[in-house]
Structure 1
Amino acid sequence: MQETAILADAACDMPRAMMDALGVRTIPFRIRAGDRFLADTRDEDALPDLYRQYLVGKQDHYAESIPLLERELEDHLLRNVVAGCDRAILLTIASSRSKFYANANGAVVGTVARSFKLRKDAGRSGLFDLTVIDTGAIGPGQALIVREAARMLGEGASAAAVVEAVENRLRDAAHMFLIPDELLYMYTRAKLKGENSITWGRYMLGSAFNIRPVIHMHRGETEAIAKARGPEDGIRRLLGHVEACIRAGALLTPAVGAAYAGDIDEVTSWPAWQSLADTAARHGVELMLAPMSLTVALNVGAGAFGLSYLSEMPPPFV
């Protein structure tokens, strides 16, 4: 029987303990801060210090996340993956947000071609098989798709069935919501990337009246769908929306992903989170709360809160 591994890049905001339990392997991003470089590997123990060094109070945006290049991805896969399994499914951050998918797709031929000798030396026959899929999601949305793919494999599904489920069902059902805290940070970051999720007008209005946008991402596209009176109001409404999804039986899978660019103990102390946790427990829904990866946090700012679910027909956000 051929062995299949699930791979995800470091933007996948799944709790590290869950990744380890499911056997999900992480491919790092490179972080550039001035003339310094470091790797984002989703090391949760290191994240608080990384937030302090590269995120909190850093309105100059001197740090940025950069995907590995094609040859670097080939080298990483050859060193860490190809000799330990027969095939891998790499589920990437949305291609609309990063060049990681394009670089990974470009690394497929070289990885497969160079895998033969390494696999032979490890006692494995044939070439390595690598499938790269754009999840169309980031952070906790990507994590939900990765979780379901790993769960299917663990229950005996074939690699082909997993790929079919991701491409034809799961990624179209992934909805992510983001409540930013630092509007200036997110406005200037969006401007640098040519995005309009926060415009100059929204930034000025938000600053003057403590208004925060509720940003929705679906199929790789983002838009501001509502306005909230400060981040606390936005988070309360978002968590209430998810409770409504759970009560309506609208979730495609019994899991909700969340990520916070800060201390996640703060999240568990919020009354709205505790209410969501009670509702989720009553309906058998798992809450996946993780610290936001540095890769994602560098694009949305300190204190940002993201939440995702998989649903084909979610109720409207109110």
Structure 2
Amino acid sequence: MVIDASCDVSADFIAHPDVAVIPIPIRIGPVTYVDQHDADATSRYMRENANGEGVTGQSIPLDAAQMSAFFLERFALEYDSVFCLTITASRSPIHDAARHGSTLAMNAIRTLRQASGITRPFQFRVIDTRNMFAGSGVPAMALMDMLRAQVPPKDIRDPLQRIIDTTHTYYVPDNLGYARTRSRVRGDRSIKLLNVLLGSALDIKPIILGRNGDTHPVARFRGRDEAWSRLFAHAGAQVRRGLYAPHLVVSHAGPVQEVLQLEALARLRDICEKEGVHLHVLPMSITGMMNIGPGGLTLAFAGEPQDGRF
């Protein structure tokens, strides 16, 4: 399995020998950081950028030729089937570069396999998760479950697509002005200037829903604790209704302890344990931190559409 570095998953997930991470270089002023799920690089980024701030930052994703070289080096001989999950194509060029890169690599991969006497078919699937950050983590973890259960590759596509189609990601930026600036860079207009001016004055925290490549605000609350608590309660209600994958991912652009200490999270954890759902509370990727902003939070699960009420 291949994921790009913006996908929020655990360190144990990354350590699996059959998982590879597409790095994402990020430039802030004269300094370049490489987002690749490395704890030391993430700590350095937070330390040198006001605990994660990167409003002027630019991500520099690999292009198709670089993707092709990456795929050719890593997967030509060791694997017969490769699944590559990427951040939503509506907000990033990574998916298109991976898709074109895999096409460029295929002839060379087939030639190498033939020269090595490997006659088994080879497949490389690039899949748009149509979500970001925690939302890309849910289908990645679901796919890992299927691979561990030795589900044949031909039987993976439909259930994985259902999970992607029903993954809901909620974004809670902590600084509206920062979030608006970064979202406009991605082509997202869900945070308007008037909302920023009013929200900043009143400490309003919006909750933005991302699904199927689109985003829109669904709620707003006074202060971080209230917004997070209401979101955790909302997620708990969905867990009780049932999920399509037994994973709920929470990622934070800051010390994870800030999330773990909340009573609302403890209640959500109890619900998840009773329902057999794995609750993952993770540090956000550098890419996520740069875009959501310091103190931001994302939460994701795959389940039937809700009424949107908090």
> Structure 1 length as normaliser, TM-score?
0.91
Instruction: Classify 1:114/1:296 alpha carbon distance in 2 versus 1 (closer, same or farther; 3 Å).
Output: same
Q: Which aligned pairs between 1:97-176 and structure 2 lie closer than 5 A?
A: 97-120=91-114, 124-125=118-119, 128-167=122-161, 169-176=162-169
* Superposition deviation, residue 303 in structure 1: 0.7
Give the corresponding residue for 1:213: 206
What is the aligned counterpart of 1:53 among 48, 52, 63?
A: 48
Structure 1: state its 5+ residue gaps.
1-5
Which stretch has the larger CA shift, 88-97 or 154-163? 154-163
1:32 to 17, 27, 34: 27
Aligned residues of 1:22 and 1:151 also touching (Cα < 8 A): no
Seen in structure 2, the aligned counterparts of structure 1 residues 58 and 19 have a Cα distance that, compared at 3 Å, is: closer
Q: Distance in 1 between matches of 2:305 and 2:184?
A: 32
Out of 40, 51, 57, the residue aligned to residue 63 of structure 1 is 57
Amino acid paired to 1:274: A
- Alpha-carbon spacing, 1:211–1:151, altered in 2? closer, same or farther (3 Å): same
State the Cα distance separating 1:22 from its structure 2 match: 7.8
Q: Deviations over 1:185-241 (max 9, x none)?
A: 111112333421211111001111111111000111100111110122110100011
Amino acid at match of 1:202: N
Given that 2:45 and 2:51 are in contact with CA atoms closer than 8 Å, whether structure 1 keeps it comes out as: no
| Aligned ranges 1:159-238 → 2 under 5 Å | 159-167=153-161, 169-238=162-231
Letter in 2 for 1:201: L
- Identical amino acids, percent of aligned pairs: 29
Distance, in Å, in 1 between the alignment partners of 2:51 and 2:305 is 37
Report the Cα distance in structure 1 between the residues aligned to 2:150 and 2:254, rounded to whole angstroms: 37
Greater Cα shift, 232-241 or 277-286: 277-286
CA contact (8 A) 1:112 1:127 kept: no
Unaligned runs of 5+ in 2: none
Distance in 1 separating the partners of 2:259 and 2:95? 31
Q: TM-score, normalised by structure 2?
A: 0.93
The CA deviation at 1:52 is: 2.3
Number of matched pairs? 310
What root-mean-square deviation, in Å, do the aligned CA atoms of Structure 1 and Structure 2 show? 1.9
**3-state SS, counterpart of residue 26 of structure 2:** strand
Question: Which of 278, 284, 294 is equivalent to 1:292?
Answer: 284
* Deviation digits for residues 23-51 of structure 1 (CA, Å, limit 9, x no counterpart): 33211112122243332111134312212
In structure 2, the CA distance between the partners of 1:95 and 1:189, relative to structure 1 (3 Å rule), is: same
Q: 2: CA distance between counterparts of 1:22 and 1:14?
A: 15
CA distance in 1, matches of 2:52, 2:284: 17
Q: Distance in 1 between matches of 2:111 and 2:220?
A: 56
C-alpha distance in 1 between matches for 2:107 and 2:217: 44
Structure-2 change in CA distance of 1:257 and 1:291 (3 Å): same
SS in 2 for 1:32: strand
